[in-house]
Amino acid sequence: MVKIDNKVWQQALSFTDGNQSSMAQRVKKNAVLYFYPRANTPGCTNESKDFSELYEQFQTLGCEVIGVSADSLKKQQNFKKKYDMPFELVADVEEVLCQAFAVIVEKNMYGKKFMGIERSTFILDGDGKVLHEWRKVKVPEHAKEVLTQVKEINQ
């Protein structure tokens, strides 16, 4: 099982509640960490809404949900507020988490190549061990699939 580098796990990050804290401080039991390319875009908005709708069920299972993109803190805070998300988002402007989880890939849009976040989701335990991962995520039904996996992990 892959474990996130302890230096990254302990590093202070910018959360939308205005606090600088580490993943180690935020994740007590399990957490869903979902990476999305850009706040306020259709896919990212739908994915965040889906996790918001299921958030209470994740919490019942002792699992935190945290969204991550490389957007600025202000943009992340506006995104969270606009869609009334019950969980925190990380403004990973320096791509610390993105690099640690290897979600920055070459993308191609309208024939133009660029580096960007590949939509990915990870379930982690309180020590930063990756319990399950999804890469190249398709948004429809994804949050439900993640919830099902968290239930299986908890059994």
HEC string of 85-116 equals: CCCEEEECCCCHHHHHCCCEEEEEECCEEEEE
CATH code: domain of residue 67 = 3.40.30.10
Residue 1 within any structural domain of the chain: no
How many structural domains is the chain composed of?
Answer: 1
Residue 86 within any structural domain of the chain: yes
38 class by beta-carbon count within 10 Å (0-12 exposed, 13-18 middle, 19+ buried): middle
Give residue 108's domain range. Answer: 6-154
> Consecutive sets of 10 residues in the chain, 155 residues long: mean pLDDT of each?
82 94 92 95 93 97 96 96 97 93 85 86 93 94 96 90
Q: What is the pLDDT of residue 1?
A: 57
Active site residue 63: no
Residue 68 within any structural domain of the chain: yes
Both tokens assigned to 87? 């969980």
Residue 81 within any structural domain of the chain: yes
**Looking at 13, 44, 97, 146, which residue is catalytic?**
44
pTM above 0.85, yes or no: yes
Residue 26 within any structural domain of the chain: yes
CA–CA dist 120, 143 (Å, integer) = 12
CA–CA dist 17, 104 (Å, integer) = 25
Q: What is the pLDDT of residue 92?
A: 95
